[in-house]
Chains A and B, each alone.
Chain A
Amino acid sequence: MEKIVVIGNGMVGYKFCEKLRAAAGKDQFEITVFGEEPHVAYDRVHLSEYFTNPSVEHLEMAPRSWYEENDVKLISGELITSIDRAAKTVTSYKGTTISYDKLVLATGSGAFVPPIKGVEKEGVFVYRTIEDLDAIIAYAKNTKKAAVMGGGLLGLEAAKAMLDLEQETHVIEFAPRLMPRQLDNAGSDSLVSKMEALGINIHMNKNTSNISGNGKMTGMEFADETSLDVEMLVISAGIKPRDELAKTCDLSVGPRGGIVVNDLLQTDDENIFAIGECALHKGMIYGLVAPGYEMADVVVDQLISKREKSFESYDMSTKLKLIGVDVASFGDPFCESTPHKPIIFEDKLEGIYKRINISEDGKTLLGGILVGDAEQYNMLLQVCLNGMALPPNPEDLILGARGGEELGMELPDSAQICSCENVTKGDICKAIVEEGLEDIAAVKTCTKAGTGCGACSPIVADIFNEQMKKMGVTIKKTVCEHFDYSRQELLDIIKVKKIKSYEELLDTVGKGDGCETCRPLVASLLASTWNEMILENGHDSIQDTNDKYLANIQKGGSYSVVPRIPGGEITPDKLIVIGQVAKKYDLYTKITGGQRIDLFGARVDQLPDIWEELINAGFESGHAYGKSLRTVKSCVGSTWCRYGLHDSVSFSIEVEERYRGLRSPHKLKSAVSGCRRECAEAQSKDFGIIATEVGWNLYVCGNGGSNPQHAQLLAGDIDSETCLKYIDRFLMFYIKTAEPLNRTATWLNKLEGGMDYLIDVVVNDSLGIAEDLEKEMQFMVDTYKCEWKEVVNNPELRKKFKHFVNTEIPDPTMKWDEMRGQKKPAEWGFPA
């Protein structure tokens, strides 16, 4: 049996053991691993998660029992201090000596600490191990201001951690920009503004000359004679490969550190390999985990005598994680010495910067930078790595194809999708076909794709869906794992079986205990069918959060209050009431885009009291929280306007009062304009009405929002009564047939036969269902009740509106700031 000794039980050392055990039987190799750290190997890449979840188990690559089960002898807490190459033995500081046939050095690296005066002072830390983090967490309990030296990938991650530890945080960078190895100046500018928005102070062009303080550090001094008072410093100025052991046995090391290896990862001694962050390959240290795993693979390949693989240079594309800001760079981000044509998109308002470098012939993507929005990272990386042909307008790569078409870029089978586990697109497709995999979770388990850092998960899902489509498998539009039915089928079941509650439906045709997808969906179906009070009869636990509290939840957990103001018409007296209520409860007030008034910042326990006052003054719920009718906007119309043909205000009030409270697949909006100048913007609404000389034109399926679409004419020159009749039919038909969360515009776009078919159904009654639709709508109109009125008058329902059940105090963590004389909620999370 061949004796393998591994020095270093870090990420790569562990992966090597795992791969070797997976490739060969236990009787072929005896494996011993030495680790200096007391813990079993842990995931250093996600080390920062330790700040929010200080559990070592959570980070472990595998539990200690894994080593036993796999016959891997782990000796942790023992530093190896010498190697005897002639005798082929290694010896630890405790004097343990053990012999090897093949030795693998996976000693990783340590933090590089620049030789600055005062670095030895108390309060100066590095950021590499769990012990480092424990020390930082303990020290930060007594400090308020911290600095991070180094504005690279790791430094920014450390800075975010300091912010989470409630420190006033500063980043000191020597270069004139952040992440100098990944970003250009404009990219860095964009990142700086994002970091500053998070509350992190950035200082660039700063050369630290001294760390001041007497024993404990109290500040930093810079070469430009400025200084900064901070009580703590985390140094993240680069890494220093751990090559000290290699030096003691005369293996070659590089001038700036690192154990020299060839393409087979052999050191000067063919029986000694070096892998991971300690290895210097072609003058390069790879400070990332994926190339380290690849190196482990290459060595395993040789040990089992396949000798097919050698290590080639590795892609260093990176995406910053954890910090709440999207930053990525790939390929050659600068192309300083390569002729190229850059395409740059910049949105200073949103802090977005994107740059892609296109080859001079316009045929390939050489590299790029993404700041503020890195959604396209995976796709761009693939295009770049695989030298794929570019679309006719390469700018589509970062702007998206305009005109609604898919980009239609198909990846070659050789495209590496998961770099952590080295899985290609071909591997994934093959596994789907050969193993008959039926869902994405199975794909991940079977191929390991997406089980490392997880960054490739979206693209794995795309490949899965694409492959399913190719195999002719139609993915049925079922609601979720609890119901094998579409929304439409569920609605039919509810009607036919007269099902009145979610639990009953789940027991009759569902399985399991439901989830956040099917519960609100069924809630909406029940409400559109039976129109019962949505907080009673067990309906409350299936409502989406806004419906559950009959108010829109806001940052910080407060709610907004929107009384209905039909048609946007309001009396001075009612305006005064709104003002008084807002003043009394200290609510932020704003005129909405829907011609009404929103009062923000109410605590959950204040909601019933606020509504009680509003209802007493004649207001009712505006359903701003529901997937239901929002507003029917109006223009001033013939009453005042010199062009007005009909009284648009009266008609909009009538329309709004008819459909108020109606639950639907998505929200509904409407408007009535008094003439074709269209001041109410009716043609952008789900249903919009415009006065004509002889009556009204009814338009449907318009949409503002993210994909604006003009409404189309359903019927022209009709009288008010016909108009309402058609709207009844139209809305009920939509409610019955739309997929969940599809607005009317999306619904129409998918409706076979399109507008002509819709006109046939609604106007010509081609399906013979018009009367039923009208009846069903009339039922909804007749059973309408203001939900808030019911809550205000029902002590049992009122009880639900409190933060704690065992004390009357409100949520003590709510925090407010001030802006232009009104309050506003404190920024998301992480209070400074």
Chain B
Amino acid sequence: MSFDEWVLALHVLSAFAYVGGIVLFWILIVAVRQIDTPGETIRMAPIVKVGNVAVAIGGVGTIVLGIYLAFALDSYAIWDGWIIAALVLWAVAGAFGQRTGAAYMRGLSKAKELEEAGQGGSSAELLALNRTSNGVVLHALASASVLLILIDMIFKPGAP
């Protein structure tokens, strides 16, 4: 395998990490809707961390290695329409992803607050925060952006 082929393989692996993280967060979004106690909400934190690491590795890996490939491969150029579209969608997905994280962190912060106050039982306020519809919409928008990147990367509209 040439160096460029290695970079391509790592670029695709990064994309898998990114989408894997997004799928993980979808599962947690569904699961957290049933959770109304601080303890169970806090128990989700290490799984969230795994998702955050996957999305971070995936986000950085796809953009850095993707830009390298756009310059390294003769058949593609950084100003190709489908590559510019991917870069824009990557930025949009990142922005939505960050806002999604902030929306769900409110529930986690509230859970920690309740636990520190010694209130370990069910909390309607915590359940409402865990069921944030704002967070669902933002994650759906982030997911749609990433899905469009995948379609763009495979169909390569306008590429020779």
A binds B: no
Interface residues of A (CB under 8 A from B): none
